[in-house]
Amino acid sequence: MGNVGSEPGVLLEHLFRHQAGRMVAHFARLFGPAHLDLAEETVQDAMLRALQTWPYLGVPENAAAWLFRVAHNSAIDAIRRKRFLVSDEVLAGILRSEDTQVDPLLEEQFRDDELRMIFMCSHPEISREASVALSLKTVSGFSVREIARAFLADEAAVAQRLVRAKRQIRERDLTLEMPHGEELAQRLDSVLEAIYFVFNEGYTAHEGEDLIRRDLCAEALRLGRLVASSSIATPKVHALVALMALQAARLPARVDEAGDLVLLESQDRNRWDRALMGLGFHHFDLSMAGREVSEYHVQAAIAATHARAGDAQSIDWTMIMHLYDQLFVINPSPVIALNRAVAVAKVHGAAAGLALVDQLEHDARLRHYHLLLAVRGHLLRELGRLSEAAQEFSAALELPCSEPERRFLRRQLQACQ
Amino acid sequence: MPQYMLLLYDNPANWQNLSPEEMQKALEKYMAWTQKPYTKDSKRLGQDAGRVIRRPKGGQARATDGPYSETKEVLGGYYTIEAANYDEAVKLAIEHPHLDYGGTVEVRQVWGT
């Protein structure tokens, strides 16, 4: 008898994706980052073996350890077949790593490998776009197709970016050594920016869109927590994790069962993710150490203010308005100005908010931003200027936006007519 | 009840383009199928040799590469299932996720069962 009918091992959600990421990071360290392709191949081979074996023998009790062991053996095979030459030192390292299978330190080693990989991906020699793609491919286990889908990019373009990034690694001889001192601080900033970029890409997606985009939020949070749990974590890292967790916690309430957008006032707070909320506040507390107030700190404080309100009526809009003032000083972007206008409207009335929105109207950076028109329409409607409001909503519908947003704008338009 | 063997042939190249996440999804489908009440046994076959031994006329018996090297399809393993008759067995086999991933399933009755 085979294992059919016996209790199958359970596969954790995203186990393959996460294992792929950490194993690639691990073998990239052992082989050296110039052999990143071989590390990826080794891991892919191990997963193929699982696909050829587990359907008959069942999922092994410790699936992650099985994958690691097989990948490890295939790494040794690759070296023995002299597919590439390694120094005695590297070979010894690989052979030694077999002993660590039962070592409780292995988990720690994996995390360290992942961290080094994240930092190498954010090396200044690699462009931002390539760095994000490389990190998702190697640390997060996303495929080229998945990365392309998540960023609405062309597959060939993503593949090209990866090829270029790997060439940069070889030509510039990048290493997995962690930077020190001032360089560490700079690199950490790039790492956090890349993580926040990935989170935002996922966060701005809506229900009904590809699930892969929501996976981006979860992955960004995982990477953020990985950095936050390391010895190089700073209050800024905790601020970013807090911000992401508090925002992600409120995601489930942002759309209803039909996949329609729900306005902040009518969101069902019972649908907030309590565990993420707790995680967010935990890191928010940790972010308070030190003097630095980064953009992440202020964004996290805004998210925390929303999260603290027991119901929509008790949101402290005055606090939120002041936080947006502060945020605008750090980052004077028109999108932040628009958000600030919404807070001002809540505190000082729709007319005051509208005056601020009007100032943004001619900002070229917001020319194709449908939310500018949607906010304007909303404030005009509150002021009873319905026909003007209707014009704004119609104009917003002309601009590119997601399907749930489109339905939302149509409902607003109907309410004005 | 009569038993049938489902012989699963696959072309490993079919899997090459799957992402880790897609591989896991595929595995979960396979695992769900093995939990069906009619599935009685499963065996994986080794992939390393795939050699066929023949004795050419007047010569010595020797091992040569099996037919797999030409077709690139490999017999990966087999399941034994129970079904009322051959047509029923085929009906069950048609539901196998192996077919979603470009594989081939051959259905043979185990004689005498």
The pLDDT of residue A83: 58
pLDDT at position A288 over 90? yes
How many CA atoms lie within 13 Å of A302's alpha carbon, on the beta-carbon side?
21
| Rounded-to-integer distance, Cα A223 and Cα A197, Å | 12
**A188 part of a folded domain:** no
A287 phi and psi angles, rounded to 5 deg: -75, -15
Q: Tokens 């047509």 label which residue?
A: B87
Q: How far is B57 from chain A (nearest CA, A)?
A: 37
The pLDDT of residue A369: 83
| Rounded-to-integer distance, Cα A320 and Cα A325, Å | 9
Average pLDDT of chain A, as a whole number: 87
Asked whether the beta carbons of residue B27 and residue A4 sit closer than 8 angstroms, the reply is no
Query: Is the pLDDT higher at A351 or at A400?
Result: A351
Contact A58/B31 with Cβ under 8 angstroms?
yes
What residue ranges in A128-188 does DSSP mark as E strands?
Answer: none
Average pLDDT of chain B, as a whole number: 86
The pLDDT of residue A251: 83
Q: Specify the number of domains making up chain A.
A: 1
Asked whether the beta carbons of residue B12 and residue A52 sit closer than 8 angstroms, the reply is yes
pLDDT at position A17 over 70? yes
Label residue A133 by pLDDT band (50, 70, 90). Answer: very high
pLDDT tens for each residue of B39-71: 999 888 886 656 778 888 888 888 776 655 555
**A343 part of a folded domain:** yes
| Rounded-to-integer distance, Cα A50 and Cα A156, Å | 28
Asked whether the beta carbons of residue A59 and residue B43 sit closer than 8 angstroms, the reply is no
pLDDT at position A1 over 50? no
Asked whether the beta carbons of residue B23 and residue A16 sit closer than 8 angstroms, the reply is yes
The pLDDT of residue B14: 79
> Angle at Cα A101 formed by Cα A96 and Cα A102, nearest 5°?
120
Report yes or no: B10 at the A interface, CB cutoff 8 Å: yes
Label residue A184 by pLDDT band (50, 70, 90). Answer: very high
| Rounded-to-integer distance, Cα A62 and Cα A379, Å | 57
Label residue A84 by pLDDT band (50, 70, 90). Answer: low
Q: What is the mean pLDDT of residues B98-105?
A: 91
Contact A58/A188 with Cβ under 8 angstroms?
no
Q: What is the mean pLDDT of residues A43-66?
A: 91
pLDDT tens for each residue of A322-372: 999 999 999 999 989 999 999 999 999 999 999 999 999 888 888 778 889
Taking every pair of Cα atoms in chain A, the longest distance, rounded to a whole number of angstroms, is 78
**A382 part of a folded domain:** yes
The pLDDT of residue A9: 63
The pLDDT of residue A210: 57
pLDDT tens for each residue of A60-71: 988 998 999 999
Q: How far is B20 from chain A (nearest CA, A)?
A: 5
| Rounded-to-integer distance, Cα A88 and Cα B48, Å | 29
Query: Is the pLDDT higher at A298 or at B43?
Result: A298
A351: containing domain: 334-417
Asked whether the beta carbons of residue B18 and residue A143 sit closer than 8 angstroms, the reply is yes
Instruction: Determine which of A57-61, A107-111, A385-389 has the lowest per-residue pLDDT on average.
Output: A107-111
**A323 part of a folded domain:** no
Q: How far is A367 from chain B (nearest CA, A)?
A: 38
Query: Is the pLDDT higher at A107 or at A46?
Result: A46
| Rounded-to-integer distance, Cα A390 and Cα A375, Å | 12
**A218 part of a folded domain:** no
Q: Which residue of B has its CA nearest to A1?
A: B41
Asked whether the beta carbons of residue B43 and residue A56 sit closer than 8 angstroms, the reply is yes
| Rounded-to-integer distance, Cα B78 and Cα B108, Å | 11
Q: Which residue of A has its CA nearest to B39?
A: A4
The pLDDT of residue A108: 83
| Rounded-to-integer distance, Cα A320 and Cα A129, Å | 32
What are the tokens at A100? 């660590």
The pLDDT of residue A294: 95
pLDDT at position B113 over 90? no
Structural domains in chain B plus CATH codes: 3-109 (3.30.70.1060)
Range picked from A87-96, A116-125, A367-376 for highest mean pLDDT: A116-125
pLDDT tens for each residue of A217-270: 999 999 999 999 999 999 999 999 999 999 999 888 887 777 777 777 788 888
State whether residue A350 is helix, strand or coil.
Answer: helix
**A235 part of a folded domain:** no
Nearest to B31 among A2, A8, A146 (CB): A8
Q: Tokens 């970013």 label which residue?
A: A240
| Rounded-to-integer distance, Cα A22 and Cα A140, Å | 8
Q: Which of A1, A13, A51, A145 to mutate to test the interface with B (most CBs of B within 10 A)?
A: A51
pTM: 0.83
Asked whether the beta carbons of residue A19 and residue B31 sit closer than 8 angstroms, the reply is no
Q: What is the mean pLDDT of residues A403-414?
A: 88
List, in sequence order, every residue forming a beta bridge with B64; answer none if it has no partner: B52
Q: How far is A53 from chain B (nearest CA, A)?
A: 6
Q: Which residues of B touch A4 (CB under 8 A)?
A: 34-35, 39-42, 79
Report yes or no: B19 at the A interface, CB cutoff 8 Å: yes
Q: How far is A197 from chain B (nearest CA, A)?
A: 22
pLDDT at position A3 over 50? no
Report yes or no: B76 at the A interface, CB cutoff 8 Å: yes
In angstroms, how far is the first alpha carbon of chain B from the final one?
A: 7
CATH of the domain at A415: 1.25.40.10
**Cβ neighbours of residue A49 under 8 Å, at least 6 residues apart?**
A70, A74
Report yes or no: B26 at the A interface, CB cutoff 8 Å: yes
Q: Which residue of A has its CA nearest to B81?
A: A4
pLDDT tens for each residue of A104-115: 567 788 889 999
Any idea what DSSP says for residue A82? Answer: T
Report yes or no: B50 at the A interface, CB cutoff 8 Å: no
The pLDDT of residue A6: 44
Nearest to A15 among B12, B24, B76 (CB): B24
**Complex-level ipTM:** 0.87
**A409 part of a folded domain:** yes
The pLDDT of residue A207: 45
Report yes or no: B56 at the A interface, CB cutoff 8 Å: no
Candidates A102, A104, A45; CA nearest to A75 is A45
Residue A194: other Cβ atoms inside 10 A: 21
- The rounded percent of chain B whose pLDDT value lies above 90 is 47
